[in-house]
């Protein structure tokens, strides 16, 4: 199920398993940046309760769909629906649009029409769970059938790219999802997945957290996943709201005045994106301190901004220490930050914040 939608920012289920062993929660786990639900899905498979929040409606939809419980009759309904899906095909009334550019530029006319048709069919399905599974299959197949590639923080138009027919890409994915459910249907406590802002969400009581925040890399998820967001919501401007409420890890036009944590250093006053990032993360760490019994693990990468190497893990550690956590980095690896024209080695770490 972890493969149902490719999300570049997702981490491996193995890292979640590793930290669940370390923290040994008796009841519940929390992920304030749940993305496509890796933490809640692993927790569910181990019989643990979990809560995951995310600011992206796409991430929330994908997590919910992956983490839901499916009965045999849901799976049978999905198979029947898929068989009859393209019979008696009617013109869809839905016209897909997106705030930043027209999706028509990114797909052939035939693929554009097929995508609109499948989107509308998902909405009309009697069994809502089957509808959600097919919508996930459709969203997941978009990158394969469009003339674009996701290149860092942007969608790059590439007319020479060979695009798969949307109908075939969708059917292949839908069949894979059904087959995964037939062979690996995970039963367990259904996680709570909510659309919420990690800076203000301070509800519940959990044994520990396992999470990975957006990296300080100027990547705006609302743009990179804008096509999926607008198709999911059937709303041209779905990405706008998300952009305004996201953790400030990328440069926006309307920077608000921010009180910068002292641990962020001098540079954070000169380059607002750095100050904003650590100010937001300070609020998240404060909430995690209040809502977890044992603390947790945070996977994060260091950054290079305008040639300056920012040790994000160490700065977050110092902020965490001031809040009351005991902090260490038991695991890390080297990765390459592609800050064109240079490629610089930075660290990606699993930082542990214990109480």
Ligand X SMILES: C[S@@+](CC[C@H](N)C(=O)[O-])C[C@H]1O[C@@H](n2cnc3c(N)ncnc32)[C@H](O)[C@@H]1O
Residues that bind ligand X (CB under 6 A): 7, 9-11, 32-33, 35-36, 38, 53-56, 59, 197-199, 212-214, 221, 245-247
Contact 9, 37 (CB under 8 A): no
Listed in order, strand segments (DSSP E) in the chain are 28-31, 49-54, 148-151, 154-157, 192-195, 208-211, 295-301, 303-305, 308-310, 326-339, 342-354
The DSSP bridge partners found for residue 296 are: 209, 353
**Residue 163 contacts by C-beta under 8 Å, 6 or more apart in sequence?**
107, 108, 111, 144, 145, 146, 147
Minimum CB separation of residue 350 from ligand X in Å reads 12
Nearest to ligand X of 38, 111 (CB atom): 38
Nearest to 352 by CA among 20, 118, 102, 6: 20
CB within 8 A of 296, min separation 6: which ones? 19, 23, 30, 208, 209, 210, 211, 288, 352, 353
Nearer to ligand X, 55 or 138 (CB): 55
CB 281 within 8 A of CB 246: no
CB of 225 to ligand X, least distance (A): 8
Minimum CB distance to ligand X smaller for 213 or for 275: 213
Helix axes 238-245, 226-233, angle to 10 degrees: 120
Name the residue nearer to ligand X (CB basis): 4 or 327: 4
- Closest to ligand X by CB, 214 vs 226, is 214
Beta carbon of residue 81, minimum distance to ligand X (angstroms, whole number): 27
CB of 167 to ligand X, least distance (A): 28
Q: How far apart are CA 258 and CA 239, in angstroms?
A: 24
The encoded tokens of residue 75 equal: 């799976």
SS3 192: strand
Q: How far is the CB of 65 from ligand X (least distance, A)?
A: 13
Task: Give least dist CB 17 to ligand X, A.
Answer: 13
Closest residue to ligand X, judged by C-beta, is 35
The residue among 116 and 210 lying less far from ligand X, judged by its C-beta, is 210
Burial of 19 (0-12, 13-18, 19+ CB in 10 A): buried
CB of 339 to ligand X, least distance (A): 19
3-state SS class at 196: coil
Question: What minimum distance in Å lies between the beta carbon of 341 and ligand X?
Answer: 26
Cβ distance to ligand X smaller for residue 198 or 303: 198
Q: Which residues pair with 54 in a beta bridge?
A: 195
215 vs 325, beta carbon nearer ligand X: 215
Token pair for 61: 């939809």
């Amino acid at each position: 199920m972890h493969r149902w939608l490719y999300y570049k920012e997702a981490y491996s289920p193995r890292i979640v398993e590793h930290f669940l062993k370390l923290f040994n929660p008796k009841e519940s786990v929390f992920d304030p940046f749940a993305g496509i639900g890796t933490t809640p899905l692993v927790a569910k498979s181990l019989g643990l309760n979990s809560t995951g929040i995310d600011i992206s409606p796409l991430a929330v939809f994908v997590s919910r769909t992956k983490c839901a419980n499916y009965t045999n009759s849901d799976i049978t309904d999905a198979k029947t629906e898929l068989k009859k899906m393209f019979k008696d095909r009617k013109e869809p009334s839905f016209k897909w649009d997106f705030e930043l550019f027209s999706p028509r530029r990114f797909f052939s006319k035939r693929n554009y029409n097929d995508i609109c048709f499948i989107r509308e069919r998902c909405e009309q399905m009697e069994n809502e769970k089957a509808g959600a599974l097919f919508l996930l299959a459709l969203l997941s197949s978009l990158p394969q059938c469009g003339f674009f590639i996701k290149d860092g923080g942007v969608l790059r138009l590439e007319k020479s790219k060979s695009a798969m027919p949307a109908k075939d890409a969708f059917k292949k994915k839908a069949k894979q999802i059904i087959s995964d459910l037939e062979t690996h249907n995970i039963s367990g406590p259904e996680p709570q997945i909510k659309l919420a802002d990690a800076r203000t969400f301070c509800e519940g009581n959990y044994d520990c957290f396992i999470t990975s925040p957006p990296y300080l890399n100027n990547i705006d998820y609302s743009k990179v996943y804008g096509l999926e967001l607008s198709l999911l919501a059937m709303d041209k401007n779905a990405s706008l709201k998300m952009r305004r409420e996201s953790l400030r890890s990328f440069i926006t036009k309307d920077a608000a005045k921010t009180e910068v944590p002292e641990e962020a250093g001098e540079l954070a006053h000169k380059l607002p994106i750095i100050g904003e990032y650590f100010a937001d993360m300070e609020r998240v760490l404060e909430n995690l301190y209040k809502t977890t019994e044992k603390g947790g693990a945070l996977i994060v990468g260091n950054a290079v901004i305008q040639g300056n190497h920012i040790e994000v893990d160490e700065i977050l550690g110092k902020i965490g220490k001031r809040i009351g956590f005991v902090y260490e980095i038991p695991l890390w690896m080297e990765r390459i930050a592609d800050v064109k024209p240079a490629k610089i080695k930075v660290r990606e770490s699993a930082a542990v914040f214990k109480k």
